[in-house]
Amino acid sequence: QQQVKQSPQSLIVQKGGISIINCAYENTAFDYFPWYQQFPGKGPALLIAIRPDVSEKKEGRFTISFNKSAKQFSLHIMDSQPGDSATYFCAASLIVNQAGTALIFGKGTTLSVSS
């Protein structure tokens, strides 16, 4: 019940195309859903995040779509660029002791954008 399932494991998209990564969860106690981008040798960096009372959030070329009833959310990268080539992780947040956050991460999607 604590898992976040992410798919696909890897994705190849042509430059200018749309990249779509999907995640699903079971625990209804999750209250915040961030996406992180990670380049080799670096730590994850927050890309965009959404709360479950919102169905969509857009920041530049990145959009999260959230379906609370289906317990699913997805990341769309519009006009994908070679610089977007990285590993993307969805995550779900649980409140822990005194309002700290334990992030439960998916297994990641390796995105390659070909030029």
Q: Where along the sequence are the contacts to another protein (CB under 8 A)?
A: 6, 32, 34, 36, 41-46, 49, 51, 89, 91, 93, 96-108
Q: What's the rounded Cα separation, in Å, for the pair 31 and 12?
A: 31
Look up residue 70 and give its two tokens.
Answer: 């289906």
Nearer to another protein, 19 or 109 (CB): 109
Q: What's the rounded Cα separation, in Å, for the pair 59 and 88?
A: 16
Neighbours of 33 (CB within 10 A): 24
Work out how close the CB of 39 gets to another protein at its nearest, in angstroms, rounded to a whole number.
10
Where residue 2 falls (left for φ over 0; alpha for ψ -120 to 50; beta otherwise) is alpha
Work out how close the CB of 107 gets to another protein at its nearest, in angstroms, rounded to a whole number.
6
Nearer to another protein, 18 or 54 (CB): 54
Work out how close the CB of 113 gets to another protein at its nearest, in angstroms, rounded to a whole number.
20
